[in-house]
Amino acid sequence: MNRQTRKSMTRRAPRAAMGGGALVLALLLYLLFPFGLGGDGSDGETEGDADAQGDAMVTSAPANSPFTSLTGDPPSPAMSDEEQKALSGNVLTVLIDEHKYLIEIPTDQAPLYRPTPLTRIVELAQLAEGDANGIRVRVLRRDSARASAEEKLRLELNHSDIRNDAIYMSDTTVP
């Protein structure tokens, strides 16, 4: 190669790299945000399809069920005897052990704690009447309780319209 050819190649290289980078960026944006090129951003479903599916998903709970479905989700199962006992004192008591949630079942002797999924705890908390101070959920912790589990419980309760002033988080730990 002569000197003139080398010089012109070194001038073109940054332009080519810049053009290639712009092309890669455009491709990434298209993959992240699939719009344009004749699409309307939908997944191919027409309005009639969405309405037909929505109508098919609506379910109604029996009149005596403690849960009703406003979102089309199937209603939650009826409360078990243990869950009714857990709500008998008007306040739902939840124990956090590491990342697990347990509800307190009052007994004549020491209380019994039963593992319960977070979604079910939120459903039960919505049914709690609350005490004279408006507390609906009392949260106990073991030494092994994780702060992230406490925060997750508080956030889920807040999302279900149970405000922080209706949640009592004890400072002491339970053995």
CA angle 164, 112, 119 (to 5 degrees): 45
Instruction: Give residue-wise pLDDT tens across range 7-40.
Output: 555 566 566 666 677 766 666 666 666 554 444 4
Residue 175: per-residue pLDDT: 84
Q: What are phi and psi of 103, to 5 degrees?
A: -100, 145
Q: DSSP 3-state helix, strand, coil percentages of the chain (rounded to 5)?
A: 40, 20, 40
Instruction: Give residue-wise pLDDT tens across range 42-84.
Output: 444 444 444 433 333 333 334 443 444 344 444 455 889 999 9
Dist. CA 137–CA 165, nearest whole Å: 10
The pTM of this model reads 0.56
Q: How would you list the strands of the sheet with 137-142, edge to edge?
A: 112-115, 100-105, 92-97, 137-142, 167-174
Q: What are phi and psi of 10, to 5 degrees?
A: -70, -25
The CATH number that domain 81-174 falls under is: 3.40.50
